[in-house]
């Protein structure tokens, strides 16, 4: 169901791009800005892991520095049928974690100092299962495609706002398009990200075989994220298991994460089967 929702929302985003291009410049405008956006995001996708890891201040560690964490990730990776990813840590005391990489063979998993202190080994194991599920499902590829289309919509809207022409009859329609289209694109983008989180919760629970531990971890991480701020770029928020800006006012607006209560409820229903 989550994969179907992703496909439907992605089709809607693509349709929005075509419609906006048609209003402002015809299909040629869609092609031009689509190519520009794809080129920009292709570079980001290819180097996504290094970009994200550097921008979040993550530091790679060796097995000797945290043998317990390595053993946990190695076991989960084997269960998921994946190669062992690189392992990183962040000095932040906010409990959180993320995974990145364009494919399972180019993956990296990062955890914060805060999550290592807050969660039990059982809860942390479930969180890491969730993160490996993102990599296995190639969610970085999905988010890159979504970002490319959303970027094209934003660029077309911006060009239409400042350089648009046309007669007065189409002026109002064009103005509404350039204002509304980027907002709708952000809503669809957030919807796709939320669908991928639900999918990673389900697949991560399958990998760790412990949906209850993941549910418990999500609740504790949510509380910790509200209390302890994290200094990371907003563009990386969707990668984390919980919104790193949860404690900020207005964090729920256009959130890339579904409500924790709903995620927990789904996991507990899964555990009761």
The active-site residue, picked from 74, 91, 131, 212, is 131
**Predicted pLDDT at 73:** 97
**Predicted pLDDT at 169:** 44
What are the domain boundaries of the chain?
2-271
Compute mean pLDDT per 10 residues along the chain, 273 residues long, and list them: 70 73 67 70 73 92 96 97 96 96 90 97 98 91 73 72 53 66 80 91 97 98 94 86 83 76 97 90
**Predicted pLDDT at 168:** 44
Residues 6+ apart with CB under 8 A from 208: 76, 79, 125, 126, 128, 129, 130, 214
State the Cα–Cα distance between residues 96 and 241, nearest whole angstrom: 6
**Predicted pLDDT at 78:** 97
At what angle are helices 139-163 and 171-208 packed, to 10 degrees?
A: 170
Do residues 73 and 84 make contact, with C-beta atoms less than 8 angstroms apart? yes
Active site residue 131: yes
**pTM of this structure:** 0.81
């Amino acid at each position: 169901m989550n994969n179907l929702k992703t496909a439907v929302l992605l089709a809607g985003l693509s349709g929005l791009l075509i419609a906006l291009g048609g209003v402002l410049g015809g299909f040629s405008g869609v092609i031009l800005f689509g190519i520009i956006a794809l080129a920009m995001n292709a570079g980001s996708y290819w180097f996504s892991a290094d970009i994200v890891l550097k921008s979040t201040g993550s530091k790679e560690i060796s097995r000797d520095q945290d043998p317990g964490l390595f053993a946990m990730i190695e076991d989960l990776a084997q269960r998921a049928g994946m190669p062992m990813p690189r392992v990183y840590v962040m000095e932040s005391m906010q409990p959180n974690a993320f995974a990145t990489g364009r494919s399972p063979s180019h993956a990296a998993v990062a955890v914060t100092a805060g999550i290592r202190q807050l969660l039990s080994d059982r809860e942390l194991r479930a969180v890491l299962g969730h993160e490996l599920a993102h990599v296995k499902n190639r969610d970085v590829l999905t988010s890159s495609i979504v970002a490319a289309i959303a970027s094209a919509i934003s660029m077309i809207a911006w060009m239409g706002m400042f350089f648009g022409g046309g007669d007065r009859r189409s002026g109002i329609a064009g103005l509404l398009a350039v204002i509304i289209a980027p907002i709708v694109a952000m809503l669809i983008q957030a919807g796709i990200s939320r669908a991928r989180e639900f999918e990673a919760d389900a697949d991560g629970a399958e990998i760790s075989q412990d949906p209850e531990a993941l549910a418990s971890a999500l609740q504790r991480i949510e509380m910790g994220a509200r209390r302890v701020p994290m200094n990371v770029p907003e563009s990386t928020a969707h990668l984390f298991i919980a919104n790193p800006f949860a404690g900020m006012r207005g964090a729920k607006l256009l959130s890339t994460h579904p409500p924790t209560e709903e995620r927990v409820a789904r996991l507990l229903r899964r555990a009761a089967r």
